[in-house]
Amino acid sequence: MYGHRIARWEKVTEWPLTIAAILFLVSYAVQILARPDGLLSAACEIVLWATWFVFAIDYATRLVITEHRWRWFYRHLLDLAIVVLPMLRPLRLMRFLTVLAILGRGTGTLLRGRVVVYTVGATVLVVFIAALAVLDAERSAGGDITTFGDAVWWSFVTITTVGYGDYYPITIAGRIAAVGLMIGGIALIGVVTATLASWIVERVADQATKTTTATERQVEELRQEIHELKDMIRELRPAA
């Protein structure tokens, strides 16, 4: 859609960006859960900013080499958010979009059977990362979410749209994470529904194809019988 150069670039950078996203996730988790200080804290911060730099280079390169640049730009606003938002300290939790973007790149080429695996894996990652993000935003704000267990419970309740209300974010950053998680829950339901609908449509199409094939075979057999009857009638006419 956007040219051969960007297709080659995305193919070459797929694994390096995946590794960068994993390094980001590990560093982010260590920083939130262990709350390190000193050298380990500095190392985690360096890794976080290094992964941001990698994604910034990737975004700039794709923007330069793509065809139909304006169309590519407004269809990849999530990638722009990954590059711009982490520069603002209050919105550092938006770095979790990095992992979602990496996962989203491969969905277009997945078979339906793999979509289920992708959906389960993406859901687990989204719940985990959202729990980290809301814990980072809420535990020092005097709210109810003060432990990672509370954050994980809140993430599951939110992404499934149950909404018990026993835990809820009170900070702006936490509510931003909540909005992203709610949208993720709706998207998850959409993926599952679309996958099921695709399976049903395929089964109906297969049955219709079998029925059509059987009908065509029967019509062909009737044609052959008609030809044979015509031949028999022609042979009987001289005798009559």
Task: Say what the pLDDT of residue 197 is.
Answer: 73
Question: 89 falls in which pLDDT band (50, 70, 90)?
Answer: very low
CA atoms within 13 A of residue 42's CA, in its CB half-sphere = 2
Q: Which residues contact 28 (CB under 8 A, 6 or more apart)?
A: 44, 48, 95, 96, 129, 132
Residue partners of 27: CB distance under 8 A and separation at least 6? 43, 44, 47, 48, 51
pLDDT one-digit tens code per residue, 182-217? 877 777 777 667 766 776 777 777 666 766 766 777
Task: Over range 110-129, report the average pLDDT.
Answer: 70
pLDDT tens string 123-168: 788 888 889 888 988 888 888 899 999 999 999 998 887 878 889 8
Contact 150, 144 (CB under 8 A): yes
